[in-house]
Amino acid sequence: MENVTAEMFDYINQQLDKIEKEYGVEILYCIEAGSRGWGFNNDESDYDVRFIFKRPLKDYLTINSKKDTIDYFDGELDFVGWDITKVLHLHWKSNPNLREWIKQKNVYRGDCDFLNNLPEFNKITLKYHYGSLAYNNWRRNVIGKENEMTKKVTKTYLYAIRCILAWIVLDDGNDAPIEIDELMKYFIDDDRMGTRLFADILMLISYYKSNCEKSKPDERGIENITHFIVTYLEILKADKPKIEELPDIEIFNKRLREILL
C-alpha cells in the first residue's frame, strides 16, 4: 500500500473492527484520502481514513431513520464513513469526492465492486467541482501570500495544480487520475505546460514531499507556476457548465436493494 506503513495499516484495520462493533455496521470499503491519496504527502501529513458501510436490513425498515454518516475519532485519527444509501445518492449526482474514493489506490479494506456498472460520473459536474475547489482554496489561502512558500501555501499551490490539471484532462473528454504524479504524466510534451513549467512543478512536488527541506523552485520558477495557476483560475471561473440531466434514479435504487438483500 502506497504512502502508508504496515504498522499504520494494521492499526487502522483494528480501529475499523472497533467501529463495526460499536456502531453495528459492516464496512464494505475503506481507503486513505487527502494528501496521501493525492500523492504529495510528507512526514507531517495526517491520515484521512474514509469508508463506506451498510447497516443490518432492519435498520432501513424503520420510521426512525439512522444517521447516514459515522464520524469516529480514536484520539489520534479521524475516520469518516458514509452509509451505502448516501453513497448511491451521491453517485447518482456524480459527487466528485465519492469518485475519488472509488479511484483510490490506497485501500485498507474491501473493494467497491458493488458500484460496478452504474452510470458514469458526469464529466461536466466533475469539471465544475475541480474548478470551484481550485479557485476557492487559492482565494482563501494564497492571495496576498504569493511566493511566501510556507508549508501551507506550498500545499495550496499543489492542491490548485492538481485540481487544474484534472479540469484540463476532463475538459479534453478524458477520465482524470486523482494522483498528482499521474496527472503530470498526461502533460509530458504538452504545449499547454511546456518543459520549464513541467520541471518547476515536479520540483515543487518534491520540495513539499521532503517536508519543505529540499530545494524549491527558484524565484522565476515560482512566478512561472503562479502565472500558470492564476491564468487557469480565470478560465475556470469563467466556465459556466450546462446543467445536465441526472440518470435514472431507479438504477441506483435497484442496486441498493441488491446490496442490502
Tell me, what's the pLDDT at 159?
92
Reading the block at residue 158, the C-alpha cell is 499543489
Domain boundary assignment for the chain: 6-119+246-260, 123-238
Full pLDDT tens readout for the chain, 261 residues: 777 889 999 999 999 999 999 999 999 999 999 888 899 888 888 899 999 999 999 999 998 888 999 999 988 899 999 999 999 999 999 999 999 999 999 999 999 999 999 999 999 999 989 988 888 888 887 877 666 778 888 999 999 999 999 999 999 999 999 999 999 999 998 888 889 999 999 999 999 999 888 888 898 999 999 999 999 999 988 887 777 789 999 999 999 999 999
Q: Is residue 246 classed as helix, strand or coil in its secondary structure?
A: coil
DSSP 212: S
Tell me, what's the pLDDT at 147?
65
Tell me, what's the pLDDT at 65?
82
Burial class (CB in 10 A: 0-12, 13-18, 19+), 116: exposed
In this structure, the number of other CB atoms found within 10 A of the CB of residue 259 comes to 15
> Could you give the CA distance from residue 133 to residue 136 in angstroms, rounded to a whole number?
5
Which residues, 6+ apart, have CB-to-CB distance to 160 below 8 Å?
134, 137, 138, 142, 229, 233
CATH placement of domain 123-238 = 1.20.120
Q: Name the pTM for this structure.
A: 0.92
Q: Is residue 247 classed as helix, strand or coil in its secondary structure?
A: coil
> Could you give the CA distance from residue 112 to residue 3 in angstroms, rounded to a whole number?
21
Domain over 6-119+246-260 is classified CATH 3.10.580: no
Give the H or E element holding residue 51.
strand 48-54
